[in-house]
Structure 1
């Protein structure tokens, strides 16, 4: 797996929406109730219960999206002691939840720093060019549509799952799909882990094409042991949605600058 760090595809304007999305995601993560434990590495049972209750209320749940039914019992955020010892108290939900709106709120929730920073890195590198090509408002709408498509695609494939679905991965996968369509020959600096991190400059179609192939492979449960905890299907659906939505813009998209004499990050002799 390669790690992108920068693309050679400058923009002329300021990608305000991309910046705002990054700031919003970071702010929501930092102020998510019960997330302090993941920041300090010392999470208590009370923090865990609080976090579970928060995610149950604001995350997207496939069962709720498909069947539109609320669970009978949910975590309350409190700690109780029972025959099995201390644990999170569950009770009938004391709130009304819109499954459709939960898809939007879930797009700004992340479970760890690694989850958050990985998503924001991809959005930082590839989002600015897509925003410039689409315009601020259309890009924001595009981002949301891809996120919804990814969440509902995952829910359809896992309609009986009661696990919360969180993260901006589906929407950002749509951005990657659009980038592949509009700027396939743009050069992307990547780090390739091979004994050390080897820097290379590769065409976007290789970087993003490889990313998509891996997500599709993982979504089938191949090559990973945590396929049930990562929504690879959402990544695949979001990517395809972004690719299809951006396709009509391809004819009028100017090509990115091409470095002369550059071959995989090194100058040809």
Structure 2
């Protein structure tokens, strides 16, 4: 596991779409029912049932995406006073499976899930947006998210477990970055006995990340992490690479400035 900190890859303009996507993900997370309480440690059955109903309505569900089999009973958001569990009933809404892929891209299951995704989007998304342009980057982001979600649903077509998170779309951003800027240096922190800072080429950092997803997807080295959609990460990454590959020839590698500390100029001491 490595933690990216900064890449040595300046941009020509402001990455408005990247910043907007980050803000939208944070906004949605803060208003997801039950999560604020769970963060503070005071979530009760009512909050958890409300959250379960919310996720069921707006998350992507493989069985719904592939077979269009919408459930006849869903959580209502209320607590059963007899059992203390969540009540179920007929859905009081019309759900579009295709649209649920879009809404699921902005839902996250916790702070670590959210911040981990947004860290990668912040570091690598700005340069991909800079190369593609604002509108094309937004369409690219959504296309990778849809490709990753539908691929995972196809591989798990009988599953009724909700799929949430921007990981598939952000994996596409990482794949595009690798295709466009393989030699750009990236500062990372490697947690050993302490956090060891290293500056490595993007092809090593992102290649290592992709390798981990492949290993975890096969079930090797995984303990209690079966709820993570690693297959979606792999498909999103490959989709991003394929879409960005034709732009590789016209992408000028940025010059790497000298005298950098964590990707920023060090001030001289007089």
- Paired position in structure 1 for 2:212: 214
Q: Give, in angstroms, the shift of residue 55 of structure 1.
A: 0.3
- Paired position in structure 2 for 1:36: 36
Native 8 Å contact 1:221 1:227 kept in 2? no
Native 8 Å contact 1:147 1:170 kept in 2? yes
Would you say how many aligned residue pairs link Structure 1 and Structure 2?
A: 262
- Paired position in structure 2 for 1:190: 188
**1 CA distance for matches of 2:192 and 2:108?**
29
Native 8 Å contact 1:170 1:235 kept in 2? yes
- Paired position in structure 2 for 1:76: 76
Structure 2 stretches lacking a partner, 5+ long? 264-270
Q: Which among 241, 266, 269 is matched to residue 239 of structure 2?
A: 241
**1 CA distance for matches of 2:224 and 2:182?**
30
RMSD: 1.5
Native 8 Å contact 1:191 1:198 kept in 2? yes
Which moves more between the two structures, 205-214 or 27-36?
27-36
Native 8 Å contact 1:61 1:163 kept in 2? yes
Aligned to 2:170, the other structure's residue is in SS state helix
Following TM superposition, the consecutive aligned residue runs of length 4 or more in structure 1 with deviations greater than 4 angstroms are 259-262
Aligned to 1:81, the other structure's residue is in SS state coil
Q: Where does 1:8-27 land on structure 2 (aligned, <5 Å)?
A: 8-27=8-27
Which moves more between the two structures, 218-227 or 160-169?
218-227
Native 8 Å contact 1:4 1:122 kept in 2? yes
**2 CA distance for matches of 1:100 and 1:51?**
21
Q: Does 1:101 align with 2:75?
A: no
Q: Give, in angstroms, the shift of residue 52 of structure 1.
A: 0.3
**2 CA distance for matches of 1:2 and 1:228?**
20
- Paired position in structure 1 for 2:60: 60
**1 CA distance for matches of 2:38 and 2:200?**
35
- Paired position in structure 1 for 2:142: 144
Q: Give, in angstroms, the shift of residue 261 of structure 1.
A: 9.2
Structure 1 stretches lacking a partner, 5+ long? none
Native 8 Å contact 1:143 1:171 kept in 2? yes
- Paired position in structure 2 for 1:89: 87
Aligned to 2:248, the other structure's residue is in SS state helix
**2 CA distance for matches of 1:94 and 1:23?**
30
Aligned to 2:236, the other structure's residue is in SS state helix
Q: Give, in angstroms, the shift of residue 76 of structure 1.
A: 0.2
- Paired position in structure 1 for 2:49: 49
Q: Which among 238, 244, 251 is matched to residue 253 of structure 1?
A: 251
Q: Give, in angstroms, the shift of residue 258 of structure 1.
A: 2.8
**1 CA distance for matches of 2:170 and 2:164?**
13
Native 8 Å contact 1:146 1:238 kept in 2? yes
**2 CA distance for matches of 1:81 and 1:99?**
32
Residue by residue over 1:165-206, the C-alpha shift from the partner in whole angstroms, topping out at 9 and shown as x without a partner, is: 000000000000000000000000000111100001000000
Residue by residue over 1:180-237, the C-alpha shift from the partner in whole angstroms, topping out at 9 and shown as x without a partner, is: 0000000000001111000010000000000000001101111012342101011001
